[in-house]
Amino acid sequence: MTRAETGASLLSIRHLRKEYRPGQPVLKDVSLDFPSVGVTAIIGPSGTGKSTLIRCVNRLVTPTSGEILFEGQDMAKLSGSTLRLMRRRIGMVFQEYNLVDRLSVIENVLCGRLGYVAPWRAFMRRFPPEDIARAFDLIDAVGLSEEFATRRADALSGGQRQRVGIARAIMQQPALVLADEPTSSLDPKTSVEIMELLAEISTSRGVPIIVNIHNVELAKRFATRIIGMTGGAVVYDGPPGGLETAHLHQIYGGEDFL
Amino acid sequence: MSVPRVWQRFTLAERIARAILYVCVVIAVVWSIRTIEVIPEFLYDAPEQTADLFSRMWPFDWAFYPKAIHAALIETFHIATLGTLIAIVLALPLSFLAARNFVSNPLLNFVAQFIFVASRSVNSLIWALLFVAIFGPGALSGVLSIAFRSIGFVGKLFGEALEEAQVGPIEALTAAGAPRSMLLVKGYWPQVEPAFWSIALLRWDINIRESAVLGLVGAGGIGVALDAAMNNLYWDQVGLILAVIFAVVIVTEIVTSSIRSRIL
């Protein structure tokens, strides 16, 4: 039984196709369903469309054809302010953290509220008190102490920056979090800590996370579901335990990497 | 034993082209010297004339400073500062239009860039001649000519700073559902703020110098006093004015570079 038949999916991707250059699809007819719980890891070699896939979900990339049904709306067809309002419901964590370097940590976290607060409030740095209280709580929750709040983002280490990136995504109170290679710029130990944090937040806050990752071990350790992609198509979709060596051969090609 | 392999930086064609270029440079220099028609008597006379000029300038007519120079100096400051402020106010919106990553409409980009080029291609003195003809002599013409010359400078440099802003943070704020105005305030502005202050200070520094000569065409400031003193052959006043301009330029240079080093 596929997840679509359970009827409980938060996000349904239907026949998604993306061509950056006509006739050269990066994604070929991808259909996937995501329930509103759990960590899903998308694994696969570089250039296989993992990043394009999750960027289509919040429309940082516009798909060529197909549907992306999220909370009753087809994200693929939205534009303008409707798209902007839907984007608030989806948090995103980036490989290069994408913090605003010259702003303080707490202001970066508060940037997660920019879709909600009135522009003059953000302009005057008069965020609502409840947002500020939540920002402090989140800075604690991602493992940074209060003293970090007023520090400039560019004064932080990679792992600390990624924690701020996660806090910013959660600050949106999202229904879904997308993480695009969140550990690829980090050392192995920090990578594990960040994946632990993402898994813990997914459970404790009840928010599903879709994470692109090329480290198979990390994916198997922290994900509840693994999607293997190669050449723009899904070739494995199931629990981590079901991922066999044969699957990895198919996903990555050859066996030299094992 | 094998033939030693040779390496030459240029191909034969390149070497011939460079040789031709050298010959052309020499021809150009000789030709220019013949065209400007140096009068030998005046050239040989120059050191003597220079010494004579300096001896007429010294001692300075110090009493002239409170009488006329001080007020003109303050006016020069005002022309430079007001002109820079007006230029910034006019150039900022244009530079957002010119930045191709912020406005993706080639026509608007072109219009903004055209205004910058038009502004920059005319020297402040030429702008001043135009404005003196329109508004008559005085500080207003000076302020406007400084402003019009500076729009292109500030706009071009600030527009380029905007184009160099990293896309990552902008992408992150877009993904969070931030409206366009907030992309500008929280995404672009923090990234380009040091460049903005640096450009504004640099232009102010340049404008202090430029507004000192605007008076030569009647557009107000210390240049008016300089023009009058030179026409009257009061070399002790000319010397004092030149020394004051020199001192002011040094002081603004020190002030702006110390502020710049602190904000960057």
* CATH level 3 topology of B61-263: MetI-like fold (1.10.3720)
- CA-based nearest residue to B140, from B223, B242, B218, B192: B218
CA distance B70 to chain A (A): 41
Reported pTM: 0.82
Q: Is A115 on the interface with B (CB under 8 A)?
A: yes
**A120: its two tokens:** 């003059």
Chain A residues whose CB is inside 8 A of the B171 CB are 60, 94, 98
Pairing, β A9-21 against β A65-70 = antiparallel
Q: How confident is the model at residue B8 (pLDDT cuts 50, 70, 90)?
A: confident
The per-residue DSSP string of chain B comes to: -PPPPP--SS-HHHHHHHHHHHHHHHHHHHHHHHHTT--HHHHHHHHHHHHHHHHHHPSP-TTHIIIIIHHHHHHHHHHHHHHHHHHHHHHHHHHHHH-TTT---HHHHHHHHHHHHHHHHS-HHHHHHHHHHHH-SSHHHHHHHHHHHHHHHHHHHHHHHHHTS-HHHHHHHHHTT--HHHIIIIIIHHHHHHHHHHHHHHHHHHHHHHHHHHGGGT-SSHHHHHHHHHHTT-HHHHHHHHHHHHHHHHHHHHHHHHHHHHH-
Quote the CA–CA distance of B170 and B173 in Å, as a whole number.
Answer: 5
* Domain spans in chain B, listed from the N-terminal domain onward: 61-263
CATH architecture type of domain A1-89+214-258: 3-Layer(aba) Sandwich (3.40)
Chain A residues whose CB is inside 8 A of the B181 CB are 119
Q: What is the mean pLDDT of chain B?
A: 91
Is the pLDDT at B30 greater than 70? The verdict is yes
pLDDT at A258: 56
Nearest to B182 among A102, A107, A119 (CB): A119
CA distance B167 to chain A (A): 8
- Give, for all 258 residues of chain A, the pLDDT tens digit: 344 444 568 999 999 999 999 989 999 999 999 999 999 999 998 888 999 999 999 999 999 999 999 998 999 999 999 999 999 999 999 999 999 999 999 999 999 999 999 999 989 999 999 999 999 999 999 999 889 999 999 999 999 999 999 999 999 999 999 999 999 999 999 999 999 999 999 999 999 999 999 899 999 999 999 999 999 999 999 999 998 888 888 888 866 655
Nearest to A111 among B168, B176, B194 (CB): B176
Preferred mutation among A93, A98, A106 to probe B, highest tally of B CBs within 10 A: A98
Q: Does the distance separating the beta carbons of A60 and B171 come in below 8 Å?
A: yes
Quote the CA–CA distance of A62 and A17 in Å, as a whole number.
Answer: 10
More confident position, B80 or A6: B80
Is the pLDDT at B107 greater than 80? The verdict is yes
Quote the CA–CA distance of A170 and A134 in Å, as a whole number.
Answer: 10
State in Å, rounded, how far the first CA of chain B is from the last one.
Answer: 60
- The whole-angstrom distance between residue B78's C-alpha and the CA centroid of its chain comes to 17
pLDDT at A201: 95
In chain A, DSSP assigns E strands to 9-21, 24-35, 39-43, 65-70, 73-74, 90-93, 176-180, 209-212, 225-230, 233-238
Nearest to A99 among B169, B175, B185 (CB): B169
| A:B CB pairs within 8 Å | 81
Per the CB < 8 A criterion, the answer to whether B224 and B75 are in contact is no
- Judging by beta carbons within 10 Å of its beta carbon (0-12, 13-18, 19+), is residue B122 exposed, middle or buried? middle
Q: How confident is the model at residue B59 (pLDDT cuts 50, 70, 90)?
A: confident
pLDDT at A6: 45
Per the CB < 8 A criterion, the answer to whether A94 and A165 are in contact is yes
Chain B residues whose CB is inside 8 A of the A84 CB are 177-179
- Judging by beta carbons within 10 Å of its beta carbon (0-12, 13-18, 19+), is residue B261 exposed, middle or buried? exposed
Residue A178 backbone class (left: φ over 0; alpha: ψ -120 to 50; beta: rest): beta
**B224: its two tokens:** 């008016």
**B76: its two tokens:** 């020069």
The helix/strand/coil state of A81 is: helix
Q: Is A135 on the interface with B (CB under 8 A)?
A: no
Buried b (16+ CB within 10 A) or exposed e, A40-59: bbbbbeeebbbbbbbbbbbb
Is the pLDDT at B182 greater than 80? The verdict is yes
Cis (ω within 30 of 0) for the bond into B59? yes
Quote the CA–CA distance of B158 and B197 in Å, as a whole number.
Answer: 10
Q: Does the distance separating the beta carbons of B175 and A100 come in below 8 Å?
A: no
Q: How far is CA B156 from CA A56, B110, B128, B201, B213, in A?
A: 35, 12, 21, 15, 24
Q: How confident is the model at residue B264 (pLDDT cuts 50, 70, 90)?
A: low
For B83-100, what is the mean pLDDT? Answer: 95
